[in-house]
């Protein structure tokens, strides 16, 4: 098992993902893998049957091969540069997989201790957006989004808790990271507790006791107003290094893929690492 950084062949984003992956792996004392996946160029070209199209098809295939090679070299260089100074003796491996990035990312997320996407992957039209959405919405596997700022070393983990299945999955999936990072702040809006008053598991004390049984120190903090804004404000005020949350999402036929609170966390300009599960 390892912490996997999903790479896209652009220098800044690949460095961001790798540095976050290294910091998480350092706390877990586990290897780091840089995963760069692109499909076989011949598999994405339409086969043309006419003799006139043969040369054009071959030329197009070679252009795609050259572009993929350049992207791979960029991703590999960014990964090695980012791991050369901060890996602290961890095993670091760059891996190029001939596959769709959606499938490769989902395969990695199945057994990895964390799979890290760049923050830009949450935005439509970005290179890794479809892979990020596939892992979250279709494969229903946990993901970690790199923070927009430098990883904070000593800050707590903020857990967004409403007792929902998504929130519980996020905590269970990311428990090794939570334990490795240490102190936890359980954040809850009073309106959520009032809404779910019939469900004892919604009480933040329930999660606090569960975390203590797993040797994690926790405290409870209330957030007011909009939940997304409250979580971001709490994270900033406490110097949090990570927010753990259940991702609320609509189907792909909906107007928006993710619900309001999740969308606000995804689109924040300044935010720590974000660990999500649906």
Three-class SS state of 114: strand
Planar angle of CA 261, 206, 115, nearest 5 degrees: 50
Domains of the chain: 3-145 (3.40.50.12370), 157-277 (3.40.50.620)
pLDDT in the model for residue 250? 57
Half-sphere exposure of 5 (CA within 13 A, CB side): 33
* pLDDT exceeds cutoff 90 at 210: yes
Closest CA to 156 of 202, 211, 228, 203: 211
Q: Can you give the pTM of this predicted structure?
A: 0.89
Q: Which of 112-126, 134-148, 244-258 has the lowest mean pLDDT?
A: 244-258
- Give the dihedral of Cα atoms 42, 139, 167, 238; nearest 10 deg: -10
* Residues 219-231: tens digit of each pLDDT: 999 998 888 899 9
Q: What is d(CA 186, CA 238) in angstroms, rounded to the nearest whole number?
A: 12
Which segment, 55-64, 183-192, 208-217, is predicted with the most confidence on average? 208-217
Q: C-alpha 246: how far from its chain's center?
A: 12
Mean pLDDT value of segment 118-126: 93
* pLDDT exceeds cutoff 90 at 44: no
pLDDT in the model for residue 108? 95
* pLDDT exceeds cutoff 90 at 264: no
Three-class SS state of 197: coil
Q: What is d(CA 16, CA 123) in angstroms, rounded to the nearest whole number?
A: 16
Give the burial string for 8-43 (b: 16+ CB within 10 Å, else e). bbbeebbbbbbbbbbbbbbbbebbbbbbbbbbebee
């Amino acid at each position: 098992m390892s912490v996997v950084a999903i790479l896209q062949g652009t220098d800044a984003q690949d460095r961001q993902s790798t540095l976050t992956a290294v910091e998480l792996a350092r706390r877990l004392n586990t290897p780091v893998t840089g995963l760069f996946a692109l499909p076989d160029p011949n598999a994405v070209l339409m086969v043309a049957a006419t003799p006139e199209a043969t040369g054009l098809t071959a030329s197009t295939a070679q252009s795609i091969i050259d572009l993929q090679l350049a992207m791979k070299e960029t991703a590999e260089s960014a990964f090695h540069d980012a791991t050369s100074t901060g890996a602290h003796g961890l095993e670091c491996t760059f891996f190029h997989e001939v596959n769709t990035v959606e499938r490769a990312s989902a395969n990695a997320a199945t057994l990895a201790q964390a799979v890290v996407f760049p923050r830009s992957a949450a935005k439509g039209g970005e290179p890794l957006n479809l892979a990020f959405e596939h892992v979250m919405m279709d494969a229903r596997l946990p993901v970690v989004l790199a923070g927009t700022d430098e990883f904070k070393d000593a800050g707590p983990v903020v857990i967004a808790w409403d007792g929902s299945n998504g929130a519980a999955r996020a905590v269970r999936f990311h428990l090794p990271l939570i334990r490795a990072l240490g102190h936890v702040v359980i954040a809850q809006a009073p309106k959520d507790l009032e809404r779910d008053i019939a469900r004892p598991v919604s009480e933040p004390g329930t999660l606090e006791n569960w975390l203590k049984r797993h040797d994690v120190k926790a405290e409870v903090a209330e957030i007011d107003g909009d939940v997304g804004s409250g979580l971001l404000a709490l994270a900033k005020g406490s110097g949090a290094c990570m927010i753990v949350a259940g991702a609320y999402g609509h189907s792909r036929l909906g107007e928006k893929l993710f619900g309001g609170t999740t969308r606000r966390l995804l689109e924040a300009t300044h935010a720590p690492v974000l660990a999500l599960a649906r």
